[in-house]
Amino acid sequence: MRAVQYRRIGAAPEVVEVERPTPGPGQVLLEVTAAGICHSDDFVMGLPEEEYTYGLPLTLGHEGAGRVVELGPGAEGVEVGTNVIVYGPWGCGTCHQCAQGKENYCPRAAELGIAPPGLGAPGALAEYMVVDSPRHLVPIGDLDPVATVPLTDAGLTPYHAIKRSLPKLRAGSTAVVIGTGGLGHVAIQLLRALSPARVVALDVSEDKLDFATSVGAHDVVLSDEHAAENVRSLLGGRGAQLVLDFVGAQPTIDTAMAVADVESDVTIVGISSQPAAAQVGFFRQAYEASVSVPYWGSRGELIELVELAHRGVLDVHTETFSLAEAPTAYERLHAGTLTGRAVVVP
Ligand code: NAD
Ligand code: ZN
Ligand code: ZN
């Protein structure tokens, strides 16, 4: 079968021929119907050799959707032929975090050698993929796999980040979204669907800001050195109750901290290769502002998102590519010329 692999540090991903995998005990084989491309892949492929821990060659793709085609010995709870999406942050399944469905925070995954597909285990950018357990599959019924596959990360990560701050998003509150790409454009829609907050979106170009408006942002502000003062003047001098930073670089972290109101949440989702420091301490940040860095989301939250998708609440924008075109999709991601999520259809 064909797969898209990162094979050499610093090299572009390649489309290669590999053996079709067979599911081991308890595992499930999917025929991949769609696979999303995330900016984190770009981060991973930009790491120097001494910091790269994902193994080579690495079949990419941590957003996967597929049709169940074969069950390994003892695998139960899912039928051949079912359309599913894959919960990616695999954990041990039995510890206290995993018992709550928060496998993204499993403290045992690393010591047990468990890694997400596309970030250690073979990923979804292939004709077939193995999923380590039926509990990591969420049936999607008749939903379109292309529009639904981004929910596994571009949806799940902002959903988790927003849900934990919902008590702060009262009537009259503001949420700021910095970076309106794959994750950010879903975040805007989730904020609109789940809260009465005014949504202010920041990005670096007029066409990205137009896109943010088209998916529901009330106001848009160019993300430059004046962004914080422009956001504050828009808000009559006040700050935001939730700031979601989907870039995570020094300039956006500085903006995020500067627009945070008292008792707000500053949530840094973006992963930057440049080390960044939040200016914290008295006189440097709003009173009782909390800064956090969430990672992905829980199994239960992915099930909730699929419910939202069935209700037609989300309009995930995708640009589709064939497997052969996947390297081009990565180039476009790196150059910042994609709108919404790039999805590969094998
Ligand atoms: P993307 O490339 O689709 O979107 C990034 C957006 O940020 C683009 O619209 C781009 O124009 C914009 N941007 C770039 N520089 C900016 C700046 N200075 N100010 C404002 N906007 C700017 O990326 P994505 O796939 O949505 O991922 C977003 C980030 O989230 C990445 O850093 C990724 O690694 C990270 N991520 C984190 C998690 C997690 O669990 N914490 C999960 C998935 C992705
Ligand atoms: Zn990702
Ligand atoms: Zn665990």
Q: Which domains does the chain have, with CATH numbers?
A: 2-153+297-344 (3.90.180.10), 156-292 (3.40.50.720)
Task: Classify the C-alpha dihedral 64-65-69-70 as positive or negative.
Answer: positive
Three-class DSSP category at 108: coil
Specify which residues 328 forms β-bridges with: none
> For residue 278, what pLDDT is reported?
75
Ligand 1, atom 27, lies closest to the CA of 39
Farthest-apart Cα atoms in the chain, separation:
62
Ligand 1 proximity of 187 Cβ (cutoff 6 Å): no
CA distances from 7 to 21, 122, 131 (A): 18, 12, 22
Separation of CA 78 and ligand 2 centre (Å): 25
Taking alpha carbons only, the member of 52, 64, 65 closest to residue 6 is 52
**Which ligand 1 atom sits closest to the C-alpha of 184?**
26
The residue whose two tokens read 């954990």 is 91
Instruction: Kindly state if the Cβ of 78 falls inside 6 Å of ligand 1.
Output: no
> Are 246 and 40 in contact, with CB atoms under 8 Å apart?
no
| Closest by Cα among 84, 87, 78 to 142 | 84
Q: Residue 323 has what pLDDT?
A: 98
CA-to-CA dists, residue 290 to 247, 268, 285, 310, angstroms: 18, 11, 10, 33
How far is residue 268's CA from residue 252's CA, in Å, rounded to a whole number? 9
Task: Tell me how far apart the alpha carbons of residues 92 and 104 are, in angstroms, rounded to a whole number.
Answer: 10
| Ligand whose nearest atom lies closest to the CA of 124 | 2
Judged on CB neighbours under 10 Å (0-12, 13-18, 19+), 76 is: exposed
Predicted local distance difference test score (pLDDT) of residue 273 = 84
The candidate with the shortest Cα–Cα distance to 241, out of 195, 297, 298, 307, is: 195
Place of tokens 């949504």: 199
* Ligand 1 near 336 CB (within 6 A): yes
Ligand 2 centroid distance, CA of 39 (Å): 6
Q: Going by DSSP bridges, is the β-strand pair 2-6/58-59 parallel, antiparallel, or unpaired?
A: antiparallel
* Protein residue with least CA distance to atom 40, ligand 1: 295
CA of residue 161 to ligand 2 center, whole Å: 14
Q: Are 334 and 42 in contact (CB under 8 A)?
A: yes
Q: Is the CB of 269 under 6 A from ligand 1?
A: yes
Which of 127, 143, 82, 163 is closest to 316 using CA atoms?
143
pLDDT at position 33 is 99
Amino acid 275: pLDDT: 75
Which value does ipTM take for this structure?
Answer: 0.99
Q: What is the DSSP string of 252-293?
A: HHHHHHHHEEEEEEEEE----SS------STTTS-TT-EEE-
Cα–Cα dist 118/113, whole Å: 14
pLDDT at 277: 81
Please tell me the predicted confidence (pLDDT) of residue 276: 81
Q: CA 86, CA 63: separation in Å to the nearest integer?
A: 7
Other Cβ atoms closer than 10 A to 65: 31
Q: Could you list which residues have their CB under 5 Å from ion ligand 2?
A: 38, 40, 153
Decide: 189 in ligand 1 pocket, CB within 6 A. Answer: no
Ligand nearest to the CA of 114: 3
pLDDT along the chain (346 residues), means of 10: 98 98 98 98 97 97 98 97 98 98 98 98 98 98 98 98 98 98 98 98 98 98 98 98 97 97 98 83 94 97 98 97 98 97 98
* Phi then psi dihedrals of residue 123, to 5 deg: -95, -165
CA distance 340 to 196: 24
Q: Quick check: CB of 246 below 6 Å from ligand 1?
A: yes
> What is the distance in A from the centroid of ligand 1 to the CA of 181?
6
Q: Cα of 209 to ligand 1 centre, how many Å?
A: 14
Q: How many Cα atoms are found within 13 Å in the side-chain-facing hemisphere of 19?
A: 3
Nearest to 32 by CA among 126, 139, 122: 126
